[in-house]
Structure 1
Amino acid sequence: MTRIRYFLFFSLFFFSLTSAFPQLIIDEQQVEDLSEEVNLTTPYHTTLTFFFNLEKDHFKPGIAAKTLDIRGVEGDPEDLAIKLKQVLEGKGVIIRTSEIPNDPVYVDSTAGGEPRFYFDAAKVPSIYLEKKGKQWKFSAFSVSRVERLHDETYPFGTDKLLNILPKIGTDEYLGLQTWQLAGLFLLILLTFLAHLVFTFLVDRGLIYLLKRLGYGYIGENYLLPIAKITSFYLIVVLLSLFIRVLQLPAEIWSWVIIVFNTLKPFLITVIFYKIVDVVAAYFQHLATKTESTLDDQLVPLIRKTLKALVILVGTLFILKDGLNFDIIPFLTGLSIGGVAIALAAQDTIKNFFGSVMIFIDKPFQVGDWVTSGDIDGTVEEVGFRSTRIRTFRNSVMYVPNGKIADSVVDNHGLRKYRRFFTTLTITYDTPPELIEKFVEGLREIVISHPDTRKDLYHVYFNNLSSYSQDIMFYIFFELPTWGEELRARHEILVQTVKLANSLGVRFAFPTQTLHMETFPEKKGLIPEYPEAKAYEAKLNKFLKEELGRKAD
C-alpha cells in the first residue's frame, strides 16, 4: 500500500504540470512588430526576434542566430541559438516581452550605467543583451558560455534526450506534446522503480549488513531513518535532472524549479537533523565510559544546540536557494537586532557563558556536594541558564550559572579523603600508663578499619583543659559519599567506646567535684587503679576480641 501511495502521489504531481502556458508571453499586437525580418534596435525587438523564430510554428533558427554576437566564438550559430533557448528554459527563466525595455539607448544602472539588459541575474547572470553600435545582441561573453551552461543544465548525457524524445511525436494532448506525455509517464515509472531499488538496498541490504556486524540496533534506530531520507533526496535530484528534458512551459517549469530547489535543502536539513541523533548517541556512549556525570548532562545540551543550528542554517538555505530570498539584508538586520537583544538580555547571555565555563572548567559534576555562600547542597542538573541544587532540607535551588561562575565554589564531592576530627576528653584521675594504652588502642582501631587512611592520622594526648585531659583524634576516611562517611564514623566511635569500657577509661564532662577527707567507715570517691601490667593485659584482650589481632 505504501508503494501504491507513492505511485499515486508522483502521478498526481506530474499531471498537475500539464496545464499549458506559452514560454514567451507575447501580446497579439506584438506579433505585428515582427513584420521586419531582423530588428535589433532595442532589447525588446532583439528578444522578440530570438524567441519568436525558435517557436515550433515559426521555427527559423537562422534568423534567431542573428541575435547572437558570435565574434571570437566557435560553433554553429544556429545550434548555439537553440542551446541558448534550452538553457533559459531549463533554468526556468520566464521571458515577458512587456517587461523588456523598448529603448534603443537603454542603460542598466546596476551594471555601472552600461548598455546592457539582464533577463534574470539571479538564475543566469552570464546571459545578457549588449549594445554594439546600433544593434542589441546577446553578448559575445554570453554566447561563449552557452556550451558550458548547456552541459550544466543537462548533465550526464541528458541533453541527447532533447533530440531523441521529440521524434516520438509532436501532437498535442492536454496541452502537452506526445513526447512530453511519454516522458512524464517514463519519469513516473523510473521514480517508482528507483524507490523500489532504494528501499531494497536500505531495508534489506544495509540493515542485513549491520546486523551481521553486530550493529542491528544502531542500524534500525539511527541509520535507517537517515538512509530513507537520503533515498528521497537522491530521487529528487534525479527528477530535477531528467524533468528538464521535457521542456515544459516556462511558467509551469519555473514553479517546478522552486519546488525542487526547496525540496533539496529541506531534505538535506532533515538528513543532518537525523545525523545529530547519531552524533549524540556516540557522545552518550563516550560519556558512559567516563567517571564524570557532567558529561551526561552535556550530551543533551549538545544535541539540542546542534539541532537548533541545523534548523537555522537549513532555513537560510531554503530561503536562499528555494525561494530566491536575499538573506544578506536579513542577516544584516538580524545582526543589528542581535545587538539590541544582547543589551536587553545581558543576564541571560552572562548565564549562558557561565554555563559554558562550567562545562569547560568542570568545577563540579552531578551528584557533588557543593558550598558557595548561601548555596549548600547536592548538584542535580546543569543547564544552559541555571544549575539545579538539592539542599539538605530537600528543597531545590535554581542558581544562575553566571552567579556560580563568579563565585568561590567549595566542592566537597571532589574530596579524595574525608576528614574526621574530634577531641576525646578523659577524667583527670586517669593514670599516664592508662592514657598510653588507650591512645595505643585508638591507633590500632584506625589501622584496622578498612576505610581509613593509613599513611596520615594523628592520635595524641595533646592538651590539659579545665576539667579534662584531652586526646586529639584526627583521621581521614577514603570514601566517596557522605552517607558512607557517617557509617564509618559510627563504626570508629563504637570501637572507641568499647575500648574505653574495656580499659576502664572514663570520659570527662564539665562538672564540679567536692573532695572530702576519707572517713574511716567509708571509702573515698577517688577510684583505685591497678598496676600498669594490668592495663597491658586488658588492652591485649580488647585487641584480640574486638579487632582480631594481637598487640606488638
Structure 2
Amino acid sequence: MIKKLLFLSLLFIILGVQAQEQWEFSNSTPYKTVKSHFYFLEKDHYNPKLATYVLGKSDLNTKAKELRVIKLKSILKKMGIKLEDIPDRRKGIIEKDKYQFFPNEPSLYLVRVNRKWVYSPETIKAIPNLYSKYVLGIKNNRKKKINAKNKILDEIINEDSTGVQFSLATPANTIKSHLIFLSDSFFDPELASKTINFAPEDTANAEELALMLKQVYLGTGTQVFDIEELSNDTNYVDSNGAAIYHPNPIYPELYLEKIGDDWLYSRATSKLIRSVHQDMYDGEAEDVFKFSDKFKRWAGVKSNTVIWKALKLWQLYMLLYFIGLIVLLFLINKLVVKRVFKLMMRGSPYQLNFYQLFSAITFSILFSIIRNYAPAVGLTIQYNYIFIKTISLLIIFTNTLLALYIVNGLKIFFTQGHQHDSRFGIVIFTSLIAKAIIFTVSLLYIIKLLDFNLINFLAGLSIGGFALAFGAQETVKNFLGSLMIFADKSFRVGDWIDNGEVSGTVEEIGLRSTKIRTFHNSLVTVPNSLLSDNNIDNLGRRIYRRYKTKLIIKYNTPSDKIELFTNKISEAIGKHPETRKDFYMVYMSDFTMYGTEVLIYTFFEVSDWNKEMKAKHDLIKTILDIKDELQIEFAVPIVANIDK
C-alpha cells in the first residue's frame, strides 16, 4: 500500500512539473512581446537581461535597460494591463506597425521593426516619468518640481514605505536626491544628474557622470560624509561667507555651491569625476557593477525586498556568497592543501612554512578580489564604508601573516633547519628585527586605514617611546646585550659555561635573558646584560678535556716493573682513539707515605661530557688490565680500628 502511495505521489509530481508553463522568448506579436517581458521578470525564470530584448533602439547601457524593463512592468501592472486583451497576431492591428496600450497614455506603445514588436524609443524615454506618475503617484510636472524650491517627490525606498524628500533646497537634500535616484528601485540617472552643475561640454554625458560619482562614493575606502551630519540649512555659508558647502573638509575638491535657489555639486567637482573614477576602477567599473546582476536574478522579483534596515535580499545573497567563498577556501586549505604538503614534503623543515605561505597568499588574493567587487554590493554610504574597511583590514592582516611567513622561510633556509641553534644567532636576531618592522608597518597601515591622524600618532609615539625607554633602561640593556652575544658568538645552545656565579648548560638564548640548566638540574635565568659584561668561561668550547690522576704503588714493587708499567700506560694512551697524541705524561712523580706515586696526565679530544666519561672509563679499564698483567699492587692506606 505504501509503495502504491509513493508511486502515485511521484506520478503527480512529474505530471505537475510537466504541466508548468514553459515559455520561449518571442516578440513576433504584441502579445508575445509583453508575455516575454513579464515572463522573464518572474521569480522562477528571472532573467532581466533577456527581458531587455523587448526594448527598441536605445543608447542606454545594459544595466539601465534592465532597470527600465523592471519599471515598465510595474507601470503596466499598475495601469491594469491584461495579457488576454493584447492581440496575438502579426497583422490586423488598427494602426499599422504600432500598437497603443492605452488611449489616454500616447507615449506607451509598441512598434513593429524588422518583423519584431518592441517597445518604442519614445516609451523607453518616458519610463521614468511614467513610473513617477503611476507607481509613485507623482502627477505634477517633474521639471517644474526640480526648479521649484522645497518641492517634494515622494520616494519609497524600503518595503516599510519610509518617505524622503527630494529637492535642491539644501546641501543634504541635493546629496540624498543624487543617491536615491541612482538606487536600484528608482533608477533615474536623468533626474540624478540634475544635482550636478555640469559644464556645457559635459551635459551630453550628464547621466553617465552622475552614476560615476556614486560609484566613486561606493568604491572609496573612507567615509566621504555622514548622511545624518549633512547641512539642512538652505542659506548655509562657509567661514569666508561664500555659499559653498564641503561635505568633508578632508576632500576640498568635493563641494556643493548655491546657484540661484538650488544647491548643486560644483562644476569643479564635476570636472574631476571622470579622472577620479578612472584612477579608482581602472576602466573596469562596468564589469565590477555587472557582477551584482547574477544575485539579483537569484533573488528574482523579491530582489529589492528589504531584509534588515537598508539591506536588500540580493545584497544579502552577495554577502553570503563572499562569506561562503572564505569558508570554502579555509576548508580546502585545512583539509586538502595541508595534507598534500604533508605527503609531498614529509620530514622537510619547510613543510609547515610552505603550507602557511600558500594559505596566506590564497586568502590575500581572495580578500583583494572581494575588495575589488565590494562597491557592487551597493550598500548605503555608511554601511559600505564599514564593509570596505573590514575587507581592507583583512587584507592587511593576511599580508602581515604572509610577510611573517616569508621571514620564517628565510630563517629556515639560512639556519639549515636548525632554528634554535645559537650558531645562527645573527640570523635569528635579524628575523626578530624584521618581524618587529613588519608589525610596526602593519600598525601604521591600520591607523591610516581607520582615518586616525598619523602625524599626531607618530608624535605621541615618539614622546611615549622616550618615556618608555627612560623607564625601561634595563630591558634596553638586555636587548643590546643579546645583540652582543649573537654578534660575538661567545656561547651557543648546548655549551657548558661558567660566569663565576652560575655554571651549567645553555638551553635557550632570548632577546632579554639566557636560560642555563645547572648541574643540579635547576634552571637559572640570567639577564643578557650580565653575561655580555662579565667574563664567560665556555667549557663547552674546549678542544681538549684534561684528565689527571695519581696512582700509588707499594714500595716493595721493583723499579723495573714500575718502569714497564708506566711505559705500557703511555703506549695505551698513544693508541687510544680519543686522546691527544702530541702531549701526554706518565711518570713516577713522588714518594708518599704509602708508596711510589705515578702521575698520569693526558687530554681527551671529545665534544661533550658523556664522551669524556666514556673515554676515561676505557682508559682506566686499560690501566687496571695492565696492573693485573704485571701483578702490581696499589698501596691502600690502612685505617687502624681503636677499641674504646
The TM tier, using the shorter chain, reads 0.5 to 0.7
- How far, CA to CA, are the matches of 2:419 and 2:623 in structure 1? 36
- TM-score, length-normalised on structure 2? 0.55
The one of 64, 88, 92 equivalent to 2:217 is 88
Corresponding residue for residue 328 of structure 1: 455
Q: How does 1:353-364 map to 2 (within 5 A)?
A: 353-364=480-491
- How far, CA to CA, are the matches of 2:420 and 2:175 in structure 1? 72
Corresponding residue for residue 187 of structure 1: 318
Q: Residues 68 and 137 of structure 1 are in contact (CA less than 8 Å); yes or no, is this contact kept in structure 2?
A: no
- How far, CA to CA, are the matches of 1:45 and 1:448 in structure 2? 105
Q: Deviations over 1:371-396 (max 9, x none)?
A: 11122222233333222223223433
- Higher deviation after alignment, 207-216 or 91-100: 207-216
The one of 227, 252, 261 equivalent to 2:389 is 261
Q: How does 1:470-509 map to 2 (within 5 A)?
A: 472-496=599-623, 499=626
> For residues 439 and 192 of structure 1, do their structure 2 counterparts lie closer, same or farther at Cα, with a shift above 3 Å needed?
closer
- How far, CA to CA, are the matches of 2:371 and 2:418 in structure 1? 48
- Asked if 1:106 corresponds to 2:257, the answer is no
Q: Residues 106 and 116 of structure 1 are in contact (CA less than 8 Å); yes or no, is this contact kept in structure 2?
A: no
- Asked if 1:244 corresponds to 2:244, the answer is no
Aligned pairs, number: 459
> For residues 131 and 336 of structure 1, do their structure 2 counterparts lie closer, same or farther at Cα, with a shift above 3 Å needed?
farther
- How far, CA to CA, are the matches of 2:627 and 2:307 in structure 1? 109
Q: How does 1:59-138 map to 2 (within 5 A)?
A: 60=191, 63-65=194-196, 67-68=197-198, 76=205, 79-91=208-220, 92-94=223-225, 95=227, 96-98=229-231, 102=235, 104=237, 106-107=239-240, 118-122=246-250, 124=251, 126-128=253-255
Corresponding residue for residue 318 of structure 1: 446
The one of 577, 600, 609 equivalent to 1:450 is 577
Corresponding residue for residue 345 of structure 1: 472
Structure 1 position 154, deviation (Å): 4.3
Q: Deviations over 1:300-328 (max 9, x none)?
A: 9999887777666545433431x322343
- How far, CA to CA, are the matches of 1:53 and 1:376 in structure 2? 78
Corresponding residue for residue 515 of structure 1: none
- How far, CA to CA, are the matches of 1:291 and 1:452 in structure 2? 33
Structure 1 position 261, deviation (Å): 1.4
Structure 1 position 418, deviation (Å): 0.8
- How far, CA to CA, are the matches of 2:285 and 2:496 in structure 1? 69
- How far, CA to CA, are the matches of 1:502 and 1:338 in structure 2? 77
- How far, CA to CA, are the matches of 2:366 and 2:624 in structure 1? 82
Structure 1 position 116, deviation (Å): 7.4
> For residues 330 and 494 of structure 1, do their structure 2 counterparts lie closer, same or farther at Cα, with a shift above 3 Å needed?
same
> For residues 150 and 183 of structure 1, do their structure 2 counterparts lie closer, same or farther at Cα, with a shift above 3 Å needed?
farther
Corresponding residue for residue 139 of structure 2: none
Q: Deviations over 1:219-244 (max 9, x none)?
A: 99665566566655555444444342
Corresponding residue for residue 379 of structure 1: 506
Q: Amino acid of the residue matched to residue 217 of structure 2? A: L
> For residues 151 and 375 of structure 1, do their structure 2 counterparts lie closer, same or farther at Cα, with a shift above 3 Å needed?
same
Q: How does 1:507-526 map to 2 (within 5 A)?
A: none
Structure 1 position 138, deviation (Å): 6.0
Q: Residues 297 and 381 of structure 1 are in contact (CA less than 8 Å); yes or no, is this contact kept in structure 2?
A: no
Give the percent of matched residue pairs that are identical in Structure 1 and Structure 2.
Answer: 28
Q: Amino acid of the residue matched to residue 231 of structure 2? A: S
- How far, CA to CA, are the matches of 2:623 and 2:585 in structure 1? 15
Q: Residues 51 and 85 of structure 1 are in contact (CA less than 8 Å); yes or no, is this contact kept in structure 2?
A: no
> For residues 52 and 145 of structure 1, do their structure 2 counterparts lie closer, same or farther at Cα, with a shift above 3 Å needed?
same
Q: Deviations over 1:394-450 (max 9, x none)?
A: 433222111011111111111121122345666889877556544422321211222
Corresponding residue for residue 533 of structure 1: none
- How far, CA to CA, are the matches of 1:173 and 1:357 in structure 2? 67
* Residue ranges of structure 1 left out of the alignment (5+ in a row): 1-31, 38-42, 109-113, 512-552
Structure 2 residue matching 1:98: 3-state secondary structure = coil
- How far, CA to CA, are the matches of 2:468 and 2:627 in structure 1? 70
Q: Residues 215 and 375 of structure 2 are in contact (CA less than 8 Å); yes or no, is this contact kept in structure 1?
A: no
Structure 1 position 173, deviation (Å): 4.5
- TM-score, length-normalised on structure 1? 0.63
Q: Residues 265 and 314 of structure 1 are in contact (CA less than 8 Å); yes or no, is this contact kept in structure 2?
A: no
- Asked if 1:408 corresponds to 2:408, the answer is no
Structure 1 position 453, deviation (Å): 1.7
- How far, CA to CA, are the matches of 1:339 and 1:271 in structure 2? 30
Q: Amino acid of the residue matched to residue 486 of structure 1? A: M
- How far, CA to CA, are the matches of 2:366 and 2:540 in structure 1? 55
Which of the pair has the greater relative contact order for Cα pairs under 8 Å at 6+ separation?
Answer: 1
Q: Amino acid of the residue matched to residue 294 of structure 1? A: S
- Asked if 1:391 corresponds to 2:518, the answer is yes
Structure 2 residue matching 1:255: 3-state secondary structure = helix
Q: Deviations over 1:26-45 (max 9, x none)?
A: xxxxxx997469xxxxx996
* Residue ranges of structure 2 left out of the alignment (5+ in a row): 1-144, 151-167, 639-644
Q: Residues 400 and 442 of structure 2 are in contact (CA less than 8 Å); yes or no, is this contact kept in structure 1?
A: no
> For residues 499 and 383 of structure 1, do their structure 2 counterparts lie closer, same or farther at Cα, with a shift above 3 Å needed?
same
Q: Amino acid of the residue matched to residue 216 of structure 2? A: V
Structure 1 position 285, deviation (Å): 7.9
Structure 1 residue matching 2:231: 3-state secondary structure = helix
The one of 174, 182, 192 equivalent to 2:306 is 174
Q: Deviations over 1:25-66 (max 9, x none)?
A: xxxxxxx997469xxxxx99677667657853895467544x
Structure 1 position 349, deviation (Å): 2.0
